[in-house]
Amino acid sequence: MANPVILSVDDDPVVSRAVARDIRRRYGDRYRVVRASSGPEALDALREVKLRGEQVALLLADHRMPEMTGVEFLEAAMDIFPAARRVLLTAYADTDAAIEAINVVDLDHYLLKPWHPPEEKLYPVVDGLLEAWAVTPDAASAEIRVVGHRWSAPSFKVRDFLARNLVPYRWMLSDDPEGIRLLDAAGATEADVPLVVTAEGKALIAPSETELAALAGLTVVPASDFYDLVVIGGGPAGLGSAVYGASEGLRTVLVERRATGGQAGQSSRIENYLGFPDGVSGAQLTDRARRQAVKFGAELLSAREVVGLSEAGGARLLRFGDGTEIAAHTVVLATGVSYRVLDAPGLADFTGRGVFYGAAATEAPSCVEQDVYIVGGANSAGQAAVHFSRYASRVHLLIRGADLTASMSRYLIDQLERIDRITVHPHTAVVGAAGEDHLQRLTLCDTRTGEARSVDTSWLFIFIGAEPRTDWLDGVLVRDGRGFIVTGPDLLAGGRRPAGWSLSRDPYHLETSVPGVFAAGDVRAESVKRVASAVGEGAMAVSLVHRYLEAQ
């Protein structure tokens, strides 16, 4: 593997040479130092590095540049190399801007110019950042190459899994020369895609998510068979429970069937989360929470689905889909919700081939200069519309109601109104889809008049409603009519505790109808569907776990 890259960008050639010189002097034997004179030039360099399958460890950007500021460059660079550490070079007069940038681009550090002597003011900072980068999963994992067909649903599933787990990979079409060479080397044909190849040359045809997770260096096998706390679900509530549980000394394992972050992790920009006035992407927030949980000693299991929960004396048994089990004193259910399936003729045939549930960030660059249609009127749909407007020629937001005020935050409505490329279509529903190997046309209907019309598009992203993933708990826990888990005082009917309740006390606030099993976040009945409240409930669940354990 080639040496990782350290990239510096500064429009002042004197400063640019000085940065590169000082960095190369200390790190040139282990890292390849690249310098650029503008933000656009640096982004082109990063794209070339990405295509070669190399890693970027550190980005150093001057703040004041004419074409693109340092903050703007770092924000764009995060989409290409999200794990790279980020440093802003500023003059004394720019320190306020640098501090503000900490929230905008999750800045790791800012350096004042001049930084001499580098032994005191530059190298200690860079040493720490490179050490932190070296232990991240992105840096530790070898390059993964994925060969697939543009409109192959299984190929999209592989790419989406890797992207949502922040695993770097290189995507190649099955009819490109390099893709053909890899298929031939693996003894496969274009009909066998997706093909996944590791840097060591191991090839898998249509691997399962568990196989993918193992290839990417994610943990798939628990280190123990018994824990103090098992957290099921890796969204904001689950990550909150894992952080607080592990930090307070509980032997904690978090189990996630797909990727940490949940629906929030797919958000391109969360702007109403406390402490981030300029917003933060779901991937950034998720990555920071995941690293925080691991730092405190939590174990994270990926691509493992829990399909059963039962009591065994004072323990709670959890059964995985492969039949194996783990046990724990306590459990926090934080499985979140899924987008509802849009029921219209033809849509199911194109899922993963032009029809996507959620933001599907891997597809955004492919939408350049095309029309994109989004179904949904809540914040997730609005955030997706803003994100896709950076690529598409026009984004069409389809809603059944008269306007967005009933379901979307005011700040987001105002933002949509300021973007010329976004058009909101009220009283509009998707009633059909057609195409050959992928989506090519949609049939839209005016819900007031019943008038139908056809539009040409290859892109439909759906954000409608929320369904809890709790069927596996049927007959085990009390759920409401929609499948959400009932907790605390809501379990008391006429002052009576739920059937089968074995303790002399009432259920705690977030406790389910099984003692020692708690629910947090969107999966809980009557919860507030916001990232901040989910994190808060995850933390609160751990405090109740402690109370439960102390009473045993």
CB 113 within 8 A of CB 94: no
pLDDT value for 53: 63
140 pLDDT band (50/70/90 cuts)? very low
The answer to whether position 423 is within a domain reads yes
pTM for the whole thing? 0.75
Question: Mean pLDDT, to the nearest integer, of 314-334?
Answer: 97
Which range has highest mean pLDDT (49-63, 97-111, 437-451)?
437-451
DSSP one-letter string for 186-235: TT--GGG--EEEETT--EEES--HHHHHHHTT---S-S-SEEEEEEE--S
The answer to whether position 361 is within a domain reads yes
pLDDT value for 296: 96
pLDDT at 88 over 80: yes
99 pLDDT band (50/70/90 cuts)? low
* Residues 457, 394: Cα–Cα separation, whole Å: 11
The answer to whether position 343 is within a domain reads no
Give kind and range of the element (H or E) at residue 455: strand 452-456
Residue 325 has a CB neighbour count (10 Å cut-off) of: 14
Q: Could you give the 3-state DSSP secondary structure of residue 254? A: strand
The answer to whether position 59 is within a domain reads yes
- Domain total in the chain: 4
Statement to judge: residues 174 and 247 lie in one domain: no
Statement to judge: residues 440 and 480 lie in one domain: no
DSSP one-letter string for 385-397: HHHHTTTSSEEEE
The answer to whether position 201 is within a domain reads yes
Question: Of 135, 153, 168, which residue sits at a domain end?
Answer: 135
Question: Of 449, 464, 479, which residue sits at a domain end?
Answer: 464
**Per-residue model confidence as pLDDT tens digits over 14-28:** 988 999 999 999 999
The answer to whether position 221 is within a domain reads no
Statement to judge: residues 481 and 525 lie in one domain: yes
The mean-pLDDT minimum among 104-113, 363-372, 387-396, 469-478 falls in 104-113
Residue 470 structure tokens = 């709790």
Domain holding 159, by residue range, is 145-216
Statement to judge: residues 332 and 389 lie in one domain: no
Residue 440 structure tokens = 């090519």
* Residues 137, 17: Cα–Cα separation, whole Å: 32
Statement to judge: residues 332 and 374 lie in one domain: no
Q: What is the dihedral of CA 516, 522, 528, 534, to 10 degrees?
A: 70
CB 157 within 8 A of CB 196: no
Statement to judge: residues 472 and 460 lie in one domain: no
Statement to judge: residues 458 and 471 lie in one domain: no
Statement to judge: residues 460 and 471 lie in one domain: no
Question: Of 464, 489, 517, which residue sits at a domain end?
Answer: 464
The mean-pLDDT minimum among 124-128, 139-143, 326-330 falls in 139-143
**Per-residue model confidence as pLDDT tens digits over 185-227:** 888 999 999 999 887 778 899 999 999 998 888 999 999 999 9
**Per-residue model confidence as pLDDT tens digits over 455-471:** 999 999 999 977 898 99
CB 229 within 8 A of CB 328: yes
pLDDT value for 518: 98
The answer to whether position 431 is within a domain reads yes
DSSP one-letter string for 132-186: HHHTSHHHHSPPEEEEE-TT-HHHHHHHHHHHHTT--EEEEETTSHHHHHHHHHT
The mean-pLDDT minimum among 11-20, 58-67, 95-104, 261-270 falls in 95-104
Statement to judge: residues 75 and 112 lie in one domain: yes
**Per-residue model confidence as pLDDT tens digits over 54-66:** 889 999 999 888 8
Statement to judge: residues 312 and 334 lie in one domain: yes
The answer to whether position 512 is within a domain reads yes
CATH number of the CATH domain containing 367: 3.50.50.60
Give kind and range of the element (H or E) at residue 100: helix 95-104
Q: What is the dihedral of CA 115, 121, 126, 131, to 10 degrees?
A: 180
From 202, 214, 206, 79, select the one nearest 149 (Cα to Cα). Answer: 206
* Parallel, antiparallel or unpaired: strands 439-446 and 169-173: unpaired
The mean-pLDDT minimum among 125-139, 331-345, 506-520 falls in 125-139
Alpha helix ranges (H) inside 248-281 = 262-265
CATH number of the CATH domain containing 18: 3.40.50.2300
Statement to judge: residues 313 and 199 lie in one domain: no
pLDDT at 137 over 60: no
Statement to judge: residues 474 and 494 lie in one domain: yes
Residue 187 has a CB neighbour count (10 Å cut-off) of: 9
pLDDT value for 221: 95
pLDDT at 254 over 60: yes
